[in-house]
Amino acid sequence: MERFSAVDVIRAKRDGARLSDEQIDWVIDAYTRGAVADEQMSALAMAIFLNGMDTDETARWTAAMVDSGETLTLHSDRPTVDKHSTGGVGDKITLPLAPLVAACGAAVPQLSGRGLGHTGGTLDKLESIPGWRASLTTEEILAQLRDVGAVVCAATEGLAPADRKLYALRDVTGTVESIPLIASSIMSKKIAEGADALVLDVKFGSGAFMKTADNARALAKALVGIGVSRGLKISALITDMSIPLGRAVGNAVEVAESIEVLRGDGPADVVELTLALAREMLDLAGLSDVDPGRMLASGEAYETWARMIRAQGGDPEAPLPEPKHVHVIKADRDGVVTKLDAYAVGVAAWRLGAGRARKEDPVQAAAGILCHAKPGESVRTGDPVLELRTDTPDAVAAALSTLEGAYEVGDTAPEIGPLILETIRP
């Protein structure tokens, strides 16, 4: 006999009531074990989308999702700290960041996901490295944290299974954009990981999930609030995703750009955000006296990267996949690039084969886009602006269609705002 009726819970939220702790605990547990049907949870998700949840409700919803599965216990002689990004175009920051922070003395358990739609997935990018594997057992994760200090891998099946089930449902019912449901989805997985501290990169702009800075700020505050309720050391950076991050968008091309950063080079915006997140992570971990910039310059971060890749079966020195076909878009006039829309570039890369429409779709390791000229940079007639890379030449036409109007060359350099807008702390 069930303690509650799913219909009563749906009606309560439909009518704007606050769900009780007992109702939340029951509905998450019942949905996980199948006692609440998908259509009932769909109705509840839509009621939450329309009427919201307050801070306490969101925290309790998150806790119930954490309790739906196992949690990792990270026994380490180092402080453990993680990072989560809400996703963007060219956002390869996890790749240089995890080994950098590990080289500075922290342990970084980075459980990551795959790309869907216009945003890339960290695991897809790393799988372009020959031999590298994403799936590790809990024992392998703990051993690698102890021996290397950093691990980037897929989440184990037992972590927050309620979130996995609910996320798939939200994706097909138009309820993804609810801030309480986004916040609880992100934080349930991160809390289940067991890290001592967490830094969030909450993005806004055309290539981000949250289109405005105000919405990103609201999400960041919700995320930080949940973390505080669980006793987590936590902060969030609000960052701009109006134009692609770095010059590479795709899988192998983003790995290559990340390696440039780890070798002390790379695009200035990628380096800036990597170092800003590293400093915030080290501060929460009690290691604020360590200079991550020195670790990049000295090569120690790259050595940690190489050890991390080898530990997961990859060859850090192996050549990365090259595309079978390249199409270059050239400037049709002299001037300065005034626009490069991140969303359009992300969708074009997806159409070239770098992303997927459904979770089960394959991706091409070599597919992607190189942004040879970004806003504020001068070009001459015939200079390359965008380089489209793919193994399927037939995909180029769709990518070109997506990019119509996505970039412009004018006479006057545009005003470009700061990459990092602000930091949200408890």
Name the active-site residue from 13, 84, 279, 372: 84
Residue 2 to residue 96: CA distance in whole angstroms: 48
Q: Is residue 58 part of a domain?
A: no
Would you state the pLDDT for residue 100?
A: 98
Residue 185 bears catalytic tag:
yes
Q: 314 and 215, same structural domain?
A: yes
Would you state the pLDDT for residue 310?
A: 98
Q: Is residue 426 part of a domain?
A: no
Q: Is residue 34 part of a domain?
A: yes
Residue 225 to residue 309: CA distance in whole angstroms: 34
Would you state the pLDDT for residue 114?
A: 77
CATH of the domain at 44: 1.20.970.10
Would you state the pLDDT for residue 117?
A: 66
Per-residue model confidence as pLDDT tens digits over 9-66 = 999 999 999 999 999 999 999 999 999 999 999 999 999 999 999 999 999 999 999 9
Name the active-site residue from 91, 124, 163, 283: 163
Amino acid at 377: E
Name the active-site residue from 85, 128, 185, 242: 185
Per-residue model confidence as pLDDT tens digits over 87-116 = 899 999 999 999 999 999 999 999 888 776
Q: 202 and 234, same structural domain?
A: yes
How many domains are there within the chain? 3
**pLDDT above 70 for 359:** no
Residue 245 to residue 362: CA distance in whole angstroms: 24
Residue whose tokens read 């995320």? 223
Q: Report H helices in 318-363.
A: 342-349
Residue 356 bears catalytic tag:
no
Residue 164 bears catalytic tag:
no
Q: 364 and 294, same structural domain?
A: no
Name the active-site residue from 170, 203, 247, 389: 170
Name the active-site residue from 114, 189, 351, 374: 189
**Which tokens belong to 227?**
């973390």
CATH of the domain at 355: 3.90.1170.30
Residue 170 bears catalytic tag:
yes
* Percent of the chain surpassing pLDDT 90: 86
Between 68-82, 212-226, 312-326, the lowest mean confidence (pLDDT) is in 68-82
Residue 91 bears catalytic tag:
no
**In which band, very low, low, confident or very high, does the pLDDT at 71 lie, cut at 50, 70 and 90?**
confident
Question: CB 149: neighbour CB atoms within 10 A?
Answer: 23
Residue 299 to residue 257: CA distance in whole angstroms: 15
Would you state the pLDDT for residue 61?
A: 97
333 with 381: CB under 8 angstroms? Answer: yes
Would you state the pLDDT for residue 1?
A: 79
Residue 159 to residue 193: CA distance in whole angstroms: 8
The mean of the pLDDT values for the chain is 94
Length of the chain: 426
Could you give the angle at which helices 21-32 and 38-51 cross, rounded to 10 degrees? 140
Q: 209 and 98, same structural domain?
A: yes
* DSSP run (H or E) holding 109: strand 108-112
Q: 344 and 244, same structural domain?
A: no
Q: 243 and 98, same structural domain?
A: yes
Q: Is residue 424 part of a domain?
A: no
| Domain boundaries, position 103 | 81-318
Per-residue model confidence as pLDDT tens digits over 159-196 = 889 998 998 888 788 888 899 999 999 999 999 988 99
